[in-house]
């Protein structure tokens, strides 16, 4: 796959599975043994495979009271890896407050997502910068 195709595939985790709850897509884009490195995942959760992506999407939908959308920026792709910054914005108001933000690194193997490293933070924390991104 080209680097642009890798970027589009990596984006589909948030933009299709998480935001649009396209859970059927998870079975098509995640390897059966895809590893999710997302802290803190509850010890009861499986951290492998498409079912984890589905649970994350459903959990996020329950956690955010307002409608929301993901915004990705600063994509970097090299080899089979894609990294990007992301924000989750509320779409319930015109101000679109930031609900969450972070950085993901996605590993792609044979046209599927094989690993996800995700780091996120609270935009209201003391380490938040004035432009809304975490240190």
Report pTM: 0.80
d(CA 130, CA 125): 11
Q: How many contiguous H segments (helices) and E segments (strands) does the chain have?
A: 3, 5
Q: Does domain 3-121 have CATH number 3.10.450.50?
A: yes
HSE on the CB side for 111, CA within 13 Å? 3
pLDDT in tens, 5-51: 999 999 999 999 998 999 999 999 999 999 988 765 555 555 789 99
pLDDT in tens, 47-92: 789 998 998 888 877 767 667 889 999 999 999 999 999 988 877 6
């Amino acid at each position: 796959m080209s680097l642009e195709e890798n970027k589009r595939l990596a984006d589909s985790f948030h933009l299709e599975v998480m935001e649009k709850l396209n859970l059927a897509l998870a079975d098509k884009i995640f390897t059966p043994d895809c590893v999710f490195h997302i802290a803190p995942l509850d010890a009861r959760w499986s951290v492998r495979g498409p079912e984890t992506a589905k649970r994350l999407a459903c959990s996020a939908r329950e956690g955010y009271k307002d409608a929301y959308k993901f915004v990705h920026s600063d994509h970097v792709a090299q080899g089979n890896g894609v990294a990007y910054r992301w924000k989750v914005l509320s779409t319930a108001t015109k101000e679109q407050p930031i609900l969450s933000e972070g950085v993901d690194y996605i590993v792609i193997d044979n046209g599927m997502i094989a690993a996800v490293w995700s780091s996120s933070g609270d935009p209201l924390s003391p380490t938040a910068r004035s432009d809304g991104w975490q240190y």
